[in-house]
Structure 1
Amino acid sequence: MTTPKFILALREKIGHDLLWMPGITAVVLDDTDRLLLVRRADNGRWSLPAGILEPGEQPAEAIVREIHEETAVTTVVDRLVRVESLPPSAYPNGDQVQYLDLCFRCHPTAGEARVNDDESLEVAWFPLTDHPELHPREELCIADAVKNNPAPVFATS
C-alpha cells in the first residue's frame, strides 16, 4: 500500500508520534443483499472497503473513491451508518495512528467487482449470511447498515 504524500510530509515533522486520521468504511450491499468485501494485501484478511480522506475531500466522496479504487465498482452512498473513534494502533514501522471512522452504507451502480489496486488480493460479493470472518467492529457496521434506522449509530465507550 502506498502511503499518501500528505502523510509522508506529516511524518517528516512528527516522526512516529500518534497521528489522528479521518477514516472511512463502506458496507456495500447490492439488490440481492450481497456484501462486497476485499481481501487485504497487508494482512490477508477479508475486510470491508475502507481508507482515509485526502485533504479537502468530503467523506461521502472519499468512500465512493476508495470503493472504486479497491474494487472497480462504482457506488452511491445511501446513508451514514456509524461514527466511532477506533483504538490507537501502530504500524510495523512504528507509526502510531488513531482513526475517527465514518461508516457508510452504499449500493453499486456500475462495474464488475475485481482487484483494482495493489491494496487487495481478492474482491468478491458474499451473501450477508455466509461471508468470511471479519473484524468484530466490521460486523457491527454491517449489523447497523442492514437496520432500517436512518440515523447513524454514535459509538460509546
Structure 2
Amino acid sequence: MPIPEFIVELREKIGHAPLWLSGVSVVIRGDEGRVLLTRRADNGLWAVVSGVLEPGEEPASAAVREAKEETGVDAELVRITSVDVTEPITYPNGDITQYLDVCFLARWTGGDAHVADDENLEVAWFEPDNLPSDLTDTSRLRLEKALQDKAEAWFSAS
C-alpha cells in the first residue's frame, strides 16, 4: 500500500520535518511455531509485519489489516506483547518519522503467505531459533517479547 493519504497531506504542510505516528506490528505464528517475516522494500531488511494506523482506526483492526495487505494471510490476534517507541527513522526521500508501536501476537488462520503489496520484496516463514541475520532491530525486540509467551505486555519503564 502506498503512503496513506493523510500522511501525504501532512507532508505537504510540514515537508520532511519529524512526524510522530501511531503504528502496529504483528508477530504471526504458524501451526508449527514458525514466524512470518517480510523483507522490506525500503531498506532490504527482514521485519515483522507492521504499518501505520489510519485516523480513528483501532490498533487490533490495523494489525489484522496489515497482515492481510502485506502477506495475504489471515490472522487471529492473541494478545498485545509490547508497546514501544522507535528511534527516529529517516526514509530515503528525507522524511523523518518516529512511531509509537503496539505489537500483537497472532495465530495464522489461513491464506498462503506471499508478497501482497509493494512495500515488501519477500515473505517467508522462519523457525524462531533460526531467524535471518539481517532482521531489523525493532523486529528483534518485538519477536523477543512476543515469543516469551508471557501474559503481560512489555513496555519500557524509563
Same structural fold, with TM-score higher than 0.5 when normalized by the shorter chain: yes
Match of 1:151 in 2: 152
Unaligned runs of 5+ in 1: none
Deviation at 1:92, TM superposition (A): 2.1
- Alpha carbons 2:28, 2:35 under 8 Å: kept: yes
Structure 2 matches for 1:24-103, cutoff 5 A? 24-103=24-103
Match of 1:9 in 2: 9
Residue identity opposite 1:8 in structure 2: V
The number of equivalent residue pairs is 157
Identity fraction in percent: 48
Indicate the SS of the match to 1:55.
Answer: coil
Structure 1 CA distance for aligned equivalents of residues 141 and 43 of structure 2: 21
Does residue 142 of structure 1 match 2:143? yes
Q: Please report the TM-score for the alignment, with normalisation by the length of structure 2.
A: 0.93
Indicate the SS of the match to 2:94.
Answer: coil
Match of 2:121 in 1: 121
Unaligned runs of 5+ in 2: none
Deviation at 1:146, TM superposition (A): 1.7
Structure 2 matches for 1:106-117, cutoff 5 A? 106-117=106-117
Structure 2 CA distance for aligned equivalents of residues 119 and 143 of structure 1: 24
Measured on the aligned residues, the alpha-carbon RMSD in Å equals 1.3
After the TM superposition, which parts of structure 1 deviate over 3 Å for at least 4 consecutive aligned residues?
none
